Amino acid sequence: MTAPSPLSPDLDRRLTAILLRCEQLDAQSEREHAELACVSRQFAAGPEGVLYFDANSIGPMPASAPARMQSVLEQGWRVARRRSWNESDWLEQPRSLGARLSRVLGADPDGVVVCDTTSINHYKLLRFALAVTGRRVIVVERSVFPTNRYVAEGIARAGLAELRNIESIDDLPAALTPGDVAVVSLSQVDYRSSARLDLSKLSPRITAHGALGLWDLSHSAGAVDVALQRSGVDLAVGCGYKYLCGGPGAPSFIYVHPRLRDAAWPALCGWMGHADTFAFDAHYAPAAGVGRFQVGTPAVLANAAMAAAADLWAEVDPAQLEARHRSLSQTLIELIEDTGLFAHLSLSSPSDPARRGGHVALRFEGAQPLANALVSAGVVVSARKPDALRIAPHPLVTRHVDLARLVRVLCSLIADGSWRQPQFAKATV
């Protein structure tokens, strides 16, 4: 079985029909999700002729971000300087950004704080879980995103915890059975396959053993409906610069379940997490709620860019986001099917959209050179070792017609074999 040549009139006709079908899907989506379409128009266009499917790496830019950053530089820094701490919202931003993200995360407005990086926040919440439960065992998946494992290993090396490795989620019940687990550290979405775990099923199972669940939402927040509070999630962190569109190096977020917010001191006690920062008390007292997870001075410039995104997220209904994600990722898989490409590559993501996270992963032996060839043809995708080609539409920005164009380029690269050329052999980030 081989796909017909892209130059064959038959495939060409099929690709043209696909483009028309995708135009109709876009029009339908505009009508059905008017609220979402309005938010979509508030993103800046990318460079002419480039199709971007790498939202899992860095999300698109809200159109207002440059002006907002410029205003912080000009009005905040050059003109007002020190006065800005009082006159602007610089100190409130970690909480106010959290409040604006809370809708898309399915949290209450007081449940989220935006600060530091995902790795640092992961550290804070692992240590918090150890303190809250008074137990020592951290359960961690062997193949989890590396930084999550490194953070846990560092805590264990310092003598503060023991690690219990699981190979996959199927081993979780056995790992919990001894009843000594403080925290189970999981990614909701696998960064390679995009397999999405069901928060509402797993959270109560973890809690039933007296343990806490700590979820990394880097590949789900802003891509699908995560419904934190409804799912009974204990603790979560996630990345600000991927689907959430906070800009390069954007701060991360922390979510803590209401019943846990005041349950222990944070592991990193800093003045910004103090109950009364500017009283300059001689001793530490934690702020009430998630505010205690702040440590030092907010990253004001990064927060200005993040605020542009947070304002947009406040307008997004998570159910519509989920529907849009489903439509885009399902359509992509159907187009690959319709063009015969499954003769050459296979789907490594789950076929059920409810079990898929932000991206669609395809298995292809030459994933890295194929990704490089796609990028050089103006179709930005990524690859992960050993054989995963990752295609990540952004539900707020990607259109169905973009998928039709992607599939046309994919068809022609595979048919003429040009992805095998030596200049595409090098690994990229």
Nearer to ligand PLP, 40 or 118 (CB): 118
Q: Which of 390, 399, 405, 408 is catalytic?
A: 390
Q: Which residues contact 406 (CB under 8 A, 6 or more apart)?
A: 51, 53, 332, 374, 379, 381, 391
Question: CA-CA distance, 69 to 82, in Å (whole number)?
Answer: 17
Q: Which of 95, 124, 135, 242 is catalytic?
A: 242
Nearer to ligand PLP, 267 or 285 (CB): 267
| 234 and 214 Cβ atoms separated by less than 8 Å | yes
Strand partners, 252: 115
Nearer to ligand PLP, 11 or 250 (CB): 250
Nearer to ligand PLP, 141 or 336 (CB): 141
Q: Which of 52, 53, 145, 243 is catalytic?
A: 145
Nearer to ligand PLP, 6 or 251 (CB): 251
Least distance from ligand PLP to the Cβ atom of residue 147, Å: 5
CA 364-367-368 angle, 5° bins: 165
Q: Which residues contact 154 (CB under 8 A, 6 or more apart)?
A: 123
Least distance from ligand PLP to the Cβ atom of residue 95, Å: 20
Which residue reads 């539409």 in tokens?
393
Residues that bind ligand PLP (CB under 6 A): 117-119, 145, 147-148, 187, 191, 216, 218-219, 239, 252
Nearer to ligand PLP, 25 or 361 (CB): 361
Long-range (24+ apart) CB contacts under 8 A made by 371-377 are 371/428, 372/419, 372/423, 372/424, 372/425, 372/426, 372/428, 373/413, 373/418, 373/419, 373/421, 373/424, 374/406, 374/409, 374/410, 374/413, 374/419, 375/428, 376/423, 376/424, 377/409, 377/413
Least distance from ligand PLP to the Cβ atom of residue 248, Å: 11
Other CB atoms within 10 A of residue 44 CB? 13
Least distance from ligand PLP to the Cβ atom of residue 170, Å: 20
Sheet holding 346-347, edge to edge: 346-347, 360-363, 388-391, 382-384
241 flagged as catalytic: yes
68 flagged as catalytic: no
Question: CA-CA distance, 257 to 101, in Å (whole number)?
Answer: 15
Least distance from ligand PLP to the Cβ atom of residue 111, Å: 20
253 flagged as catalytic: no
Instruction: For the chain, give the number of residues.
Output: 429
Least distance from ligand PLP to the Cβ atom of residue 120, Å: 7
Residues serving a catalytic function are 145, 216, 241-242, 390
